[in-house]
Amino acid sequence: MVRAQTSHPLDPLTAAEISVAVATVRAAGATPEVRDGMRFIEVDLVEPEKQVVALADAYFFPPFQPSLLPRTKGGPVIPTKLPPRKARLVVYNKKSNETSTWIVELREVHATTRGGHHRGKVISSTVVPDVQPPMDAVEYAECEAVVKDFPPFREAMKKRGIEDMDLVMVDPWCAGYHSEADAPSRRLAKPLIFCRTESDCPMENGYARPVEGIHVLVDMQNMVVLEFEDRKLVPLPPADPLRNYTSGETQGGVDRSDVKPLQIIQPEGPSFRVNGHFIEWQKWNFRIGFTPREGLVIHSVAYIDGSRGRRPVAHRLSFVEMVVPYGDPNDPHYRKNAFDAGEDGLGKNSHSLKKGCDCLGYIKYFDAHFTNFYGGVETIENCVCLHEEDHGILWKHQDWRTGLAEVRRSRRLTVSFICTVANYEYGFFWHFYQDGKIEAEVKLTGILSLGALQPGETRKYGTTIAPGLYAPVHQHFFVARMDMAVDCKPGEAFNQVVEVNVKVEKPGDNNVHNNAFYAEEKLLKSEMEAMRDCDPLSARHWIVRNTRTVNRTGHLTGYKLVPGSNCLPLAGSEAKFLRRAAFLKHNLWVTPYARDEMHPGGEFPNQNPRVGEGLATWVKQNRSLEEADIVLWYVFGVTHIPRLEDWPVMPVERIGFMLMPHGFFNCSPAVDVPPNQSDLDDKENGLPAKPIQNGLIAKL
């Protein structure tokens, strides 16, 4: 008999599992001093081998899919239980300034642990030399307090007319790596300073008054100011009357009054089905995961294709890193190049959508659990949002001879989360469509990171947005890691990548009318060949194909990556941030799957002195890609030249890319989408479109 399993091997760690993992590691500390110095940066699931996932999906968890496992003579041998789940912990010792990683086997976990009792086993512990792990919110708060209590800092602020420290905002930024002075032998932060005008207004936009000319270096291990210098007295920008964005405090002090309610109803409920973290919708199915670093993770993406059954598309999809380099060479802006995933954690900085959700309709929320700095468990309620959206026309055709028309509306399933890193907000979205497409989208909003100007000063490296206030030019880069599995069962490695460029035919016998163009394909045979950039002039895209599965025309089945708008770093080759972010030098990288290759800039980019660690080093092995378990690393970004219209809060800017079926299906999978019955009834009766009315938001 197969024993019932409570957690799927890919489910995020529960609060109880995190508690057990922390208690196990703390108990394993060699001395009381070691245990007392432990600070817990991350506790994350050790994702099992793909064969274990296949076994779980085949025999232990609905919808039970035995076809995932290869056929064997005499039938499969089914174990009575799955291997125990494991947790991986990143631990920083505040007393020794030492970073270590731990693997803990979670043998037995109950909803609560009594009297310190736990059932975990340490599998391994490794000290990682010459690194600094991500910073924690507790450290940021302590750093702010230390700087505001530092007498020379208070004196410098007094010179600028500020004596009330409650007005002061200290944003600790990781030091990056610019010279040996930033080496990871010390845990460092170089804060940016801002100042509000009203201490009794918690929602005032304090980023409207940057404090420049003050240099502060903080030892984050011992929480002391190492360096302080009041280098230049730059006057605080005057209070901008347009600085605030809260309701009733915007320009003119009056909000619009002509916006009518817009609400969505689904009287029969949603079209998706949820079983734990397993999602089914419109022939798609996948699992939702979540990590402290990446945030949302999409696992085991597959499409149910009629008689062909369950067809895998991808094993794992996530955003693994982002970098925000600024283009102003002046201090302090030249050192603003945040690695928001690797230095802070996208998941750990995510929102509870209880406090404001941009989704409409019938919503399913998922909570997320994390460890805090001291090993306690914190829960972000309603962290991930799952809902359906109307998306306009899916397809339409009207026969001009008969006047008959067919039209279908598009619906998409959206999975998303939003995080705040200092002044910026980032929304990360995965959209699934009825025609087999998957769209990855990032929405950028929040508040600009500003600089102060001397009276009469202007800078060509930014946009003046108010008297004494300017916004430096900068870029935002995101890295999507896509462990593809096009028509591949777990354990199979039958994918390859083809680059497609559209070419203009040369004039001659084959092009007598000079109108000919065609798509030219090139197989990317190895990692060094597969370092590629976008080229909109040739409509460049890339297809991941299965080398052993064909469609009805005899061609290999595939999914293609279609770029959206994109860019490359606008920095010289010797730019300091590119030491740690060599992966930004190309838009596409392709590697064969390797279990430990997860972070394109290495696991610990904070103060990392090593040049090109991570993706740029892995590909030097030049491994074959002709038939492999393919991983795509797509780097996409936007160059932000700030506008006055981006102030005081930046309207959403969207960037992303599309994964589209290319010969994967034998015809359009959207052809069987039924018409919208209410639209047909209205058209038949000559009625106007029905208004959208009465909404329902539900936590299932």
- Which residues are part of the catalytic machinery? 340, 424
Beta strands in 329-376 (DSSP E): 337-339, 364-371
CA angle 154, 158, 164 (to 5 degrees): 75
**Letter for the amino acid at 323?**
V
Determine the Cα–Cα distance for residues 675 and 338; give it in Å rounded to an integer.
Answer: 47
Determine the Cα–Cα distance for residues 121 and 441; give it in Å rounded to an integer.
Answer: 40
Residue 180 · residue 579 · CB < 8 Å: no
Determine the Cα–Cα distance for residues 569 and 109; give it in Å rounded to an integer.
Answer: 47
Name residues whose C-beta falls within 8 Å of residue 528's C-beta, 6 or more positions apart in sequence.
619, 620, 622
Residue 450 · residue 649 · CB < 8 Å: no
- Residues, the chain, total? 700
Determine the Cα–Cα distance for residues 603 and 320; give it in Å rounded to an integer.
Answer: 10
H helix or E strand, kind and range, residue 93: strand 85-93
Please report where in the chains the tokens 């619906």 appear, as a residue.
411
Residue 17 · residue 85 · CB < 8 Å: yes
Tokens standing for 342? 């690797």
H helix or E strand, kind and range, residue 51: helix 50-55
Determine the Cα–Cα distance for residues 84 and 78; give it in Å rounded to an integer.
Answer: 16
Residue 298 · residue 289 · CB < 8 Å: yes
Instruction: Please provide the distance, in angstroms rounded to a whole number, between the alpha carbons at the two ends of the chain.
Output: 32
DSSP state of 96: T
Number of C-beta neighbours around residue 678 at 10 A? 11
Determine the Cα–Cα distance for residues 206 and 195; give it in Å rounded to an integer.
Answer: 6
Name residues whose C-beta falls within 8 Å of residue 661's C-beta, 6 or more positions apart in sequence.
435, 436, 437, 558, 559, 560, 669
Tokens standing for 28? 């394993």
Cis peptide before 267 (omega within 30 of 0): no
SS3 label, residue 621: helix
Determine the Cα–Cα distance for residues 562 and 657; give it in Å rounded to an integer.
Answer: 6
DSSP state of 494: -
Residue 402 · residue 669 · CB < 8 Å: no
- Mapping DSSP onto H, E and C, the string for 190-246 reads CCEEEECCCCCCCCCCHHHCEECCEEEEEECCCCEEEEEEECCCCCCCCCCCCCCCC
